[in-house]
Structure 1
């Protein structure tokens, strides 16, 4: 499913179009996605001005002037596209291509902004995405947010914090990093990349990165830096693409990057002076990619 940098790139792509726009009509083409839509969804949203677009972990937050927030999750195959007349744009470029088949257009935001009529369309072939609606002031009580750890982009994610979470844990690093109670929004792709950057195996026990007196070892310091850097680099790549998005057709840029280990099984490790090969194993039903030679 889309990971945090992709979702952040989608947010950045939608924000210039949606922020400050008025929702003239919310068109629901079915009664549900993964879950039923909120009761009176269109009635409670129609006519509202979009104050801002935010993000928490892998969730988009669409704040409305009436104090309500639309919580949107892209699921496995969801995407938004922007249409104005015949022009079409899909903010974000994902590892797996997004659908543009109109039969999977399930939600359409009809918007009015600066004299322009726009459509922001949510497309989801597998319908694993969803939308919820709740008061902005109550977001901390939302089930998916109550126990989320810090964002990998924030200052609260540091080695001292992770040492407290990892101390005494025999859980493999891969699983510990994917646990949203430890770090919010960190997904499979970027866990693999961060572990490669810090030269740590995904099978290694999380507790081995903490000293007997509960302090972070140098390896945990390196891992924390790698997590923050890989997420920052991915977001910056998307942001850089968006910053120069003004083209002759007016379309937005796309998030593009290459992976060092993810989905590169059998290729040469790109660590300098490493003669290793990227391997793939399965942990808790998910693929882990790493170099057996330079990751320990």
Structure 2
């Protein structure tokens, strides 16, 4: 599975056995999600792919993707408070999971988001062509950028120091750990997005990183479940959201903050008007209301 993933961070998790895959032709979606949540709390899993039952129609790249997305939305509604029609039209499928944070060791809620992927999104003749949202089979991909980053930080801490971050005795070691992990996580994302930028250059739905490196742009709003129209959105790069998350972790470690709800990296993008004429990061240029939920 790891060789099929475009995302470097995703391939890393798959190689560690922390990226699960479930065939909903053989297993109930509600039961699969419940087991995934338990595995998250035990720090055993980081992401989940739920493959819906495959048919000749939903596997045919010539089938309009809107038809497959509608089918995926029905499965998504089974594990969401949202109706299928809402999920098809830009609603968010969110799974909040309360657990002991891999970094702070304290109770923290991490949100995981389900996104619909299908083979038809790779067909440049399809009305909803969008290469990053394509997959070899119709599926729902559940991820949390924030939790994946937290697990990465924990892995690095265990490899360097033999203990998780919240057990480090030296503040200097902790600060150095966080700085190194933010830099590496940003590099993972940059490499992944640069590869997508090369593949989508000259297409109707290009992916790119802003000139200042603070945001990435694509023809969808991450992490909505599905969309029926394609519009360019800008999203924070890890140098922004991972740095903000580290600040929250430090506040918890310093006992200046208690439980918080994490959505870092998937808090939603900003619609870009006339993106072709924009050379700078709109996230830096636009005045935003900063949410208290990272």
How high is the TM-score relative to the length of structure 1? 0.30
Decide which structure has greater strand share. 1
TM-score scaled to structure 2, two decimals?
A: 0.30
Structure with the higher fraction of residues in helix conformation: 2
